[in-house]
Amino acid sequence: MNATMRIASFKLRRSVLYCPASNPKAMEKTGSLNCDAVIFDLEDSVAPAEKAAARERLRAFLLSDARPSCETVVRINALSSEWGADDLIAARGMKPDAILLPKVNGPSDILSADEALDEMDAPPTLKLWAMMETPQALINAGPIAALGSNPAARLDCLIAGTNDLVKELRASSDRDVLRPLLMQIVVAARAAGIAAIDGVANDFRDMNVVARECAEARAMGFDGKTLIHPAQVYPANAIFAPTAREVMEAREIVDIFSRPENADTNVVSLNGRMLERLHLEQAEVLLAQARAVEEAEESEE
C-alpha cells in the first residue's frame, strides 16, 4: 500500500480499550471516554455460563443510542468454539466497524470468517481484526497479514495478544523477551499495509509502566496500544500522537519537496540531512496522523 492509500485510509488507533460485554456499567461509560476505539469483548472476559446473556446485552447496547461514536469492534469467541458461530452472526447484526477474531493460527481462520460474512451479505466496510496470540500466529504472521494487502479486503488490523503469547510460549512477560515477537507482528502488518496494535499493560494502576510500554510500542512501529482500564487512555493518546517537533520537521520536508526546483529531484538537503522521497512519504503519513489527532481533540471540546 503506497503513502497515498495509507493517508486516505488512515484511522487513529492510539488507544484501543477492551470492555467486557458482561459489564453493563463499563459499556455505558465508553460513550464518555476519548479512546480511539473500543473492543467489546465476548471472549476471555466473559464466563462460559454468561456468554449467551452477554451477547444479547451487547446487541441491545450497540443498537441503541448509547453506543460510543468511536470505532467499535466486537471480539467474538473462536469460530471453532461452541459460541463462535452464534457470536459471528450476532456481531454482524450489531453493525460494528470490525469483528476481532481470537486465536488466529493461520490465513484459513481469516478466510473462514470472511466467507461466512459474505454469505451473510455483510457490507465490505465491516472489517476483520486478528488476535496474534499463538505460536502458530507468529509463524504465519506474514501470510495472515498479506490477506489485508488489498485495500478492499476485510482484514484491517493485527492485535498483539501478549498475555496469551507468554502463556503459550512459557516465556517471561518481560518486554525485552517479548520485543522480537512484537516486531514480527509489526513487520507483517507493515508489509501488508495494515494496522498493528500492541498488547495490554497489566499494571493499570502504574501510569509510569503504561507510559513506558506505550513509548516502547511506538518506537517499534505500533499504531497504538490495547488497554484494560480507562485511566490508560490519556497516556496512550499522548504518546502515540506526533510531537510538535515531529510535525514541524514533517512540514519542512513536505515544503522542500514541493518546491518547483525539486519537482524531479529524488534527494534533497535539509538542515544538514540528506532526504529521499521515502522521507516525504513518512512525513505525509505523520501529518495525516497529526490532522486526525487535531480533529479528535476538537470533537471532544
Contacts of residue 264, defined as CB under 8 A and 6 or more positions apart, other chains included, come to: none
Going by pLDDT thresholds of 50, 70 and 90, the confidence category of residue 227 is very high
Residue 9, pLDDT score: 57
At the fourth CATH level, which superfamily is domain 11-239? Phosphoenolpyruvate-binding domains (3.20.20.60)
Q: Looking at the predicted structure, is the pLDDT value of residue 4 above 70?
A: no
| Start-to-end Cα distance in the chain | 34
Q: What residue type is assigned to position 149 of the chain?
A: S
Better-predicted residue by pLDDT, 172 or 3: 172
Q: What are the binding residues?
A: 75, 133, 164
Going by pLDDT thresholds of 50, 70 and 90, the confidence category of residue 1 is very low
Q: What is the mean pLDDT of the chain?
A: 93
Mean pLDDT score, 5-9: 51
Residue 158, pLDDT score: 98
The fraction of the chain above a pLDDT of 70, given in percent, is 96
The pLDDT tens digits for 101-159 are 999 999 999 999 999 999 999 999 999 999 999 999 999 999 999 999 988 899 999 99
Range in 3-7, 178-182, 191-195, 202-206 the model is least confident about: 3-7
Q: Cβ distance 224 to 10 under 8 Å? A: no
Q: What are the binding residues for Mg(2+)?
A: 133, 164
Q: What are the binding residues for substrate?
A: 75, 133
The pLDDT tens digits for 231-257 are 999 999 999 999 999 999 999 999 999
Residues of the chain with CATH 3.20.20.60: 11-239
Residue 301, pLDDT score: 62
Range in 56-65, 84-93, 103-112, 282-291 the model is least confident about: 282-291
Residue 152, pLDDT score: 86
Q: Looking at the predicted structure, is the pLDDT value of residue 88 above 80?
A: yes
Rounded CA-CA distance 1/165 in Å is 29
pTM for this model (two decimals): 0.91
Contacts of residue 71, defined as CB under 8 A and 6 or more positions apart, other chains included, come to: 11, 13, 36, 37, 38, 97, 98
Residue 2, pLDDT score: 45
Query: Kind of pairing, strands 71-75 and 98-101?
Result: parallel
Residue 133, pLDDT score: 97
